[in-house]
Structure 1
C-alpha cells in the first residue's frame, strides 16, 4: 500500500530505469523505492535524518544513497526525462516565467567545511559560500526559478540570499535544454520570457533580442524617468504586453508549491549540493 507522499506505481515505473545499479561488491543494497520514499519523507517534513521512521530503514542508508546519487547525477536525469516526455506530447508550454525567492537558512545550515578540508567526496557546486549569504532577513539562500506556461519547473539556480536577480537570467535560460524524442538537437530557446521589473535592464533586453526571444517585462521607474529626461534622444519605450505579463503568476504559484516541502521552505542542508538535489527531487514530484 502506497503511503502519503510516497512514490506511486506509475512514478516508480518511470524512475527505476534511470537509477544507477549497485556498484562493487558487498551486501545487497536496500530497496531503491524504500530509500527514495525515505528521502521524500525527509523532504516533506523537514525533520532531522535521525527521526526517520523505522519503516524506511536506517537513516544512514537513506542519507548515504542521497549523497551517492548527488555525485552520480540520476536526479537531473529523471527531471530531464519527465520534461522531455511532456514536450513529446505537446504538454510543455514554451512561455517561460522567471522569478526568485529568498529562503531563510536555519542555523544548522551554517558551518560547512571549506573546499579542500572536507571529507565528503561530492563535487561541491560552484556556488559562492555554499549558496549562503546575508540579506535583510538574515542568513539566507535565493532560488532563481524558470517555469513553463503551466507553472512546472524547467530549471533553477541557487545563489547567496543577497544576490541580484537580473545577472542570473541568462545563466538560467542557458540551463534549459530539452532533448527531442527522436533525432535532432535539443530545444533550448523559449518563445517568450516573462519577468518582473527586477529583470528590466537594457543589457537583458539586448540579450533577448539577440536570441530572438520575446521579452515581456515592465520598465522600472528610474529607467522611464531617464528616458524622458533625454527627450527625443531617449528613444521609444520597449514593447510591453500587459495581458501576457499577467501569466507570470504561474512562477509565484510554483514557489508556493515547492515550499510545501518543509525542507525547502527553510534550508537545513549545509552543502549547496544537497539543497540543490532536494530542489530537483521536489521538481520531479511536481
Structure 2
C-alpha cells in the first residue's frame, strides 16, 4: 500500500495560479513535485515516501531549492493568505530554526548567511506575521541572535491595516508600541519585569 501524500484536484486548482509556467502552462510534473515536497514533511514526522521521479532526494532538493530561491513557495503562502483574509486581528511572532553543524562553514556567494549563535547553538530566526486564522502574511529571516523587535521593525512597513496586534513580551519596546498606534492598531503586548513604568494591556 502506498503511503504517498497527494494533493486533491481541488487543492491543485487553487495552487495553479502561483506555479511557474512554460508558455502559460505549469509543467506536467508539478503535481508530483508538490506531493513529494509534502511527503518530505510527512517523512520527518514519521514515514511517508517520495512519489514518482522524486524518489531520489537529490532531484527533489534541486527543484525545491529553485522554487525557494525564486520565491515561489512564499508567493503561494502569501497568495493563499490573501484569499478571504481576516485582518481585524493580526499576530506577530518568531521562532528559531536549528542550523546543521556544517552550515556555518559553507560558503555562500553574493550574500551573507543568516546564521547566528544562541543559547541553543547555531540558529536562524524566522519572524512572521499572520492573520486571525494563523495564515502567514509576511516573513523575515535573520540570524538566530537577532531580537524579536528587530524583526518586527523589518516587517512594520508591510503590515496590513488591522484593529489589534497581540504579541509576547519579546516585542515590548516603546518605539514599536508607538509605531503600531500610529498605524491605528490597538496593542496587546505584556511588559517586561525590568520596566520602570508598567503598561496596560
- Please give the range of the TM-score, normalised by the shorter of the 2 chains: 0.7 to 0.9
**Larger mean Cα displacement after TM superposition, 148-157 or 9-18:** 148-157
Q: Please name the residue that 2:13 is paired with.
A: 13
User: What is the CA distance between 1:56 and its match in structure 2?
Assistant: 4.1
Q: Which has the higher helix share?
A: 1
User: What is the CA distance between 1:30 and its match in structure 2?
Assistant: 5.7
1:95 matched to 2:67: no
User: What is the CA distance between 1:152 and its match in structure 2?
Assistant: 2.7
Q: Please name the residue that 1:216 is paired with.
A: 188
Q: Secondary structure at the match of 2:22?
A: coil
TM score, norm. by length of structure 2: 0.81
Could you tell me which of 68, 71, 96 is aligned with 1:70?
68
Q: Secondary structure at the match of 1:103?
A: strand
Q: Please name the residue that 1:245 is paired with.
A: none
Structure 1 residues 137 and 218, CA, compared in 2 at 3 Å: closer, same or farther?
same
User: What is the CA distance between 1:103 and its match in structure 2?
Assistant: 2.5
1:164 matched to 2:136: no
Structure 1 residues 38 and 108, CA, compared in 2 at 3 Å: closer, same or farther?
farther
Q: Please name the residue that 1:80 is paired with.
A: 78
Alignment partners' CA distance in 1, 2:75 and 2:96: 26
User: What is the CA distance between 1:35 and its match in structure 2?
Assistant: 1.4
Give the number of equivalent residue pairs.
194
* Aligned pairs (5 A) from 1:1-286: 5-22=5-22, 31-46=29-44, 53=50, 55-57=52-54, 58-87=56-85, 92-116=86-110, 129-176=112-159, 188-223=160-195, 225=196, 227=197, 237-240=198-201
The CA RMSD over aligned residues, in Å, is 2.8
User: What is the CA distance between 1:113 and its match in structure 2?
Assistant: 1.2
Structure 1 residues 5 and 156, CA, compared in 2 at 3 Å: closer, same or farther?
farther
User: What is the CA distance between 1:154 and its match in structure 2?
Assistant: 2.3
Q: Please name the residue that 1:282 is paired with.
A: none
Alignment partners' CA distance in 1, 2:71 and 2:97: 24
User: What is the CA distance between 1:70 and its match in structure 2?
Assistant: 2.9
TM score, norm. by length of structure 1: 0.59
The structure that has the greater radius of gyration is: 1
Q: Which runs of 5+ in 2 are unaligned?
A: none
Task: Point out which structure has higher relative CO (alpha carbons under 8 A, 6+ apart).
Answer: 1
